[in-house]
Amino acid sequence: MKNLLGGKGANLAEMCNIGVPVPPGFTLSTEVCSAYYDNNRNYPEGLKSEVEAAIAKTEEVLGKKFGDPTNPLLLSVRSGSRASMPGMMDTVLNLGINEEITEGLAKLSGNPRFAWDSYRRFVQMYGDVVLDLKPVNKEDHDPFELILEAKKEEKGVELDTELSAEDLKEIVAEFKAEIKKVTGHDFPDDPMEQLWGAVGSVFGSWMNDRAIYYRRLNGIPSEWGTAVNIQAMVYGNMGDDCATGVAFTRDPANGEKIFYGEYLINAQGEDVVAGVRTPQPVNDSTKSDPSHATLQELMPKPYQDLVDIYLKLEKHYKDMQDIEFTIQKGKLWMLQTRNGKRTAEAAVRIAVEMEKEGLIDKNTAIKRVEAESLDQLLHPMFDPNADKNVIATGLPASPGAATGKIVFHAEDAEVWVEKGEDVLLVRTETSPEDIGGMHVAKGILTARGGMTSHAAVVARGMGTCCVAGCGAIEIDLKKKTMTVDGKVLKEGDWLSLDGSKGEVIEGKVPTIDPELSGDFGILMGWADEVRHLNVRTNADTPHDAEVARNFGAEGIGLCRTEHMFFEGDRIKAVREMILADDEAGRRKALTKLLPYQRDDFYGIFKVMHDLPVTVRTLDPPLHEFLPHDDANQQVMADEMGITLEEVKAKVESLSEFNPMLGHRGCRLGITYPEITEMQARAIIEAACDLTKEGINVLPEIMIPLIGTKAELVDQKKVVVSTAEKVMEEKGVKVNYLVGTMIEIPRAALTAHEVAEEADFFSFGTNDLTQMTFGYSRDDAGPFLKEYTSKGILSDDPFQTLDQSGVGQLVEIGVQRGRQTKPDLKIGICGEHGGDPRSVEFCHKVGLNYVSCSPYRVPIARLAAAQAQLNNPV
Ligand code: ADP
Ligand code: MG
Ligand code: MG
């Protein structure tokens, strides 16, 4: 139903079906939109008569007539695509009205102010949306808002509810004059003409820049199209027994089970979201300011109806709902429901609590949380013990901690981030035009707007930290400053935001690592029960190993030894080794490195006791360890007691045209076996020492970049003979494995041969991607961007595994490897090991584990569980 009617239309229909009061209406399906675009922006045949028939039916239900001044039916025209795209496309309310009808409506309702307010709103929305008067640039003012503001000033009132029918009538005339001035045409009076104008505009908005940007951001195909919902109006602007509002059935920021909403008396539609007036809380329990009046207090009966309906909707959809409602003369109408957007924190809590309430089962709970979104919970938080100067407090609209430089314009945010700055976007309020800047900002701060304001909703959807409605700040866009309590902060000043507490903090605040406790821990436990894949981590230091282990890593899938070569004095020994002219010279330098490496492994093995640790022997080309500028080459020459020329000559001799395909990986160990020997000795010595201390160590030595079985045979011989020797010296036995990375296409193709020598395989999908595509990973950035934006590639293959190409090599490697050794242990240690889609692929091809960076371990655990639920084995 959703595909055809769009999310909004489908849910309106479903609410009708379960007996929730919804104003009558009908939906033009997404197929009409597709036909419209396929047919050069022309409507399909027969649409007109079908629409007329549907209007007739709506008229019959309500006993009103579209275009009839004595008893007019007014309509709302609303867009709605399959996936919800908040604020992306525009709604027109009170359609089917003109002066004559307004007079009729005034008479009928006995409320001229309401009638003229409705007409005023219609002319404004129609002018903005359909006739395109809405300014494109944020700096330009909406001409209608200017007229409205001027009129309020002239009449000496602050709120638009204080304007009289006469005032509104004048405003309408001024609006129309403005439209005539800009477009050269009279404002359309004919209701049918208005309707088709609005329908065309909804379809047209599917292809506006904002919508296109949002689709690209969220991977929504443009073929889906939008539906158009045409619905009878209900009026929240008929007086003080009327209202309009939005609510969440649970708190979308932290997931707490409280009904949470905001509303405005005597208002319509977008007033709540747009921040025209400050909305009030719906219920008493969420009221924080005693001067506020809740719906519960003022309209107990419709409030109770609202509570009954939200409970019914949550039970029906079995998920947290985001609802929109209007009260017309004490009668409640529902205008929208959908599964509410939420932060990762809220998603986890809601999933776990709904399982406990018996609303959903564990497997559904696991599937409810988007694995990638956990990223939000895994980033450092502000250290609660740090000194911080809280300069203002707003609403905790979207949790997280963010530090960045202040910018006041969304476009500036994009420019600054492009230059590598961290920014916080500070605005009075945000609007859909700001979406690009909001996306790149580390955090968002607004002076106005509530928990359901545009900034709050979009920030939660993006997982960006947001403090909204911080009334204490005053923004001067011209001077690019914000003032709090007399303190002036300029563009570019550092500021921090705590989105969980709503705090605005001066300067930078130190951070600490998060923990997997509470509901997060419970959900992870459920995921662990379900998943088949093991999850390891890529870690090179005891600290990283510990972080990963706390996040649930079940081993190390890749420990890179080269990073250890750079620290402190070691680099000197490394350079000495590289400079040596013969084996004896190299051995002398390697002897200096041995104790360092042994200590490194000792530390890592100790943290990872009882879990496997895969250590890769030296991989990068040697020139990476040499200095490349004169000054540093001179330092090196002085240290080594040789001339600058000699250093330059060595650097020169090691330089390669194509280092990534040059002398690296096992090729180094084959040329200089003493390097592999030293590394094997360091690994096994550390393992023996720990074994003696009673600590269980499971080292797995991994040879990189082999393309033939013979390369592995060569290196394995060095490792095994060294290990035997060390164990004899130390007088203990350790169980160790020798395996290889599969990262050269030839190794995957000959996996059945390689497996004869390997105890395990680990797919190095970074190099495998590089070599399969023939893209240099270090040079591909600029053109890959172009490739993805032109649709030549759907994703960056270095981020998401290319399943149809590179994936085939993985499959072949698995299948041929296990042809030789049915129980061969196989993992993946490329960047892809933490990418949910790639994790699903790894599950499907039967890998034993994925390995990813420490902070992505929980993401991989959840993704592995979801992979099993979607593809049970
Ligand atoms: P969006 O997708 O931006 O939320 P909607 O189509 O939901 O846009 O419309 C925005 C608001 O307009 C609604 O929240 C509601 O308050 C108001 N609205 C829409 N349809 C009607 C209607 N039939 N009667 C009264 N108000 C309506
Ligand atoms: Mg809506
Ligand atoms: Mg590699």
- The residue whose CB lies within 8 Å of the most ligand 1 atoms, and thus the one to mutate among 22, 76, 265, 268, is 76
Q: Which atom of ligand 1 is nearest to the CA of 244?
A: 16
Residue with tokens 């300067």: 507
Q: Minimal CA–CA distance to 91: which of 229, 272, 214, 189?
A: 229
- C-alpha 852/C-alpha 837 separation (Å) is 13
**Distance in angstroms (rounded) separating the CA atoms of residues 827 and 743:** 12
Count CB-CB contacts under 10 A for residue 373. 18
Taking the C-alpha atoms of residue 873 and residue 847, their distance in angstroms, rounded to an integer, is: 12
Of ligand 1's atoms, which has the minimum distance to the CA of residue 80?
A: 2
Q: Are 427 and 408 in contact (CB under 8 A)?
A: yes
Question: Worst-scoring range by mean pLDDT, 33-37, 212-216, 792-796?
Answer: 212-216
Cα(59)–Cα(700) distance, integer angstroms: 76
CA nearest ligand 1 atom 16, residue: 269
For 279, the enclosing helix (H) or strand (E) is: none
**Each residue of 390-440: pLDDT tens digit?**
999 998 888 889 999 999 999 999 999 999 999 999 999 888 778 889 999
Q: How confident is the model at residue 526 (pLDDT cuts 50, 70, 90)?
A: very high
pLDDT digits (tens, 9 = 90+) for 311-365: 999 999 999 999 999 999 999 999 999 999 998 999 999 999 999 999 999 999 9
Q: Give Cβ neighbours of residue 71 (< 8 Å, ≥ 6 apart).
A: 63, 64, 65, 104, 108
Lowest average pLDDT, out of 177-191, 210-224, 687-701, goes to 210-224
Q: Whose CA is nearest to atom 26 of ligand 1?
A: 269
Structure tokens at 702: 């991994």
- Banded model confidence at residue 275, pLDDT cuts 50, 70, 90: low
Mean of pLDDT over the chain: 93
Residues 6+ apart with CB under 8 A from 181: none
| Stretch among 467-481, 667-681, 688-702, 812-826 having the lowest mean pLDDT | 467-481
Count of C-beta atoms within a 10 Å radius of residue 418:
9
Query: Does the beta carbon of 338 sit less than 6 angstroms from any atom of ligand 1?
Result: no
Got the DSSP string for 486-543? TEEEETT-EEEEETTTTEEEES---EE-----HHHHHHHHHHHHH--SEEEEE-SSHH
pLDDT in tens, 650-686: 899 999 999 899 999 999 999 999 999 999 999 999 9
pLDDT higher than 80, residue 827: yes
The confidence band for 701, taking pLDDT boundaries of 50, 70 and 90, is very high
594 has a pLDDT exceeding 80 = yes
Share of the chain above pLDDT 90, in %: 76
Chain-centroid distance, C-alpha 365: 19
Query: For a substitution probing ligand 1, which of 202, 228, 335 has the most ligand atoms within 8 Å of its CB?
Result: 335
Contact 429, 275 (CB under 8 A): yes
| Residue nearest atom 17 of ligand 1, based on CA coordinates | 269
| Amino acid present at 171 | I
**Centre of ligand 3 from the C-alpha of residue 622, in Å:** 15
Let me know the angle formed at the C-alpha of 748 by 744 and 751, rounded to the nearest 5 degrees: 130
Which residues touch 224 (CB under 8 Å, ≥6 apart)? 3, 30, 81, 82, 83
Query: Would the CB of 327 count as within 6 Å of ligand 1?
Result: no
Residue 228, judged by CB atoms within 10 A of its CB (0-12, 13-18, 19+), counts as: buried
User: How would residue 21 be classed by pLDDT, with cut points 50, 70 and 90?
Assistant: very high
Identity (one letter) of the amino acid at 550?
Answer: N
Strands 72-73 and 65-66, by their bridges, are parallel
Q: Note the pLDDT of residue 88.
A: 55
Mutating to test ligand 1, I would choose from 8, 26, 75, 324 the residue with most ligand atoms within 8 A of its C-beta, which is 324
Ligand 1 proximity of 432 Cβ (cutoff 6 Å): no
CA-CA-CA-CA torsion sign (192, 198, 201, 203): negative
Tell me which ligand sits closest to the C-alpha of residue 616. 3
740 CB less than 6 Å from ligand 1? Answer: no
Asked whether the predicted pLDDT for residue 601 surpasses 70, the reply is yes
CA 698 / ligand 3 centre spacing (Å): 22
Which residue carries 């009076």 as its tokens?
Answer: 189
Q: With bands split at pLDDT 50, 70 and 90, how would you rate the model's confidence at 868?
A: very high
pLDDT, position 138? 62
Tell me what percent of the chain is helix, strand and coil, each rounded to the nearest 5: 50, 15, 35
- Ligand 1 in reach of 238 Cβ (< 6 A): no
Task: Kindly report the protein residue whose alpha carbon is nearest to atom 10 of ligand 1.
Answer: 269
Note the pLDDT of residue 440. Answer: 93
Distance of CA 336 from the midpoint of ligand 2 (Å): 6
Tell whether ligand 1 has an atom less than 6 A from the beta carbon of residue 78: yes
Q: 274: Cβ below 6 Å to ligand 1? A: no
Half-sphere exposure at residue 147, Cβ-oriented, CA atoms within 13 angstroms: 20
Residues involved in catalysis = 454, 829
Is 537 in contact with 557 (CB distance < 8 Å)? yes
CA 797–ligand 3 middle distance (angstroms): 15
Nearest residue to 129 via CA among 215, 232, 200, 26: 200
CA angle, residues 261, 262, 264, in degrees to nearest 5: 150
The pLDDT score that the predictor gives to residue 408 is 96
User: What is the per-residue pLDDT across 66-124, written as a single tens digit (0 to 9) for each?
Assistant: 999 999 999 999 988 888 775 556 789 999 999 999 999 999 999 999 999 999 999 99
- Nearest-angstrom CA–CA distance, 570 and 567: 6
Name which of 769, 747, 766 is nearest 758 in CA terms: 747
Is there an atom of ligand 1 within 6 Å of 266 CB?
no
Distance 100 CA to ligand 1 centre (A): 25
- The b/e string for 751-780 (b: 16+ C-beta within 10 A; e otherwise) is bbbbbebbbbbbbbbebbbbbbbebebeeb
Q: Which of 441, 448, 456 is nearest to 474 (CA)?
A: 448
Of all ligands present, the nearest one to the C-alpha of 831 is 3
pLDDT confidence band for 624 (50 / 70 / 90): confident
Averaged pLDDT for residues 760-789: 91
Q: Rounded to an integer, what is the distance from CA 632 to the centroid of its chain?
A: 42
User: What average pLDDT does range 727-733 have in this prediction?
Assistant: 97
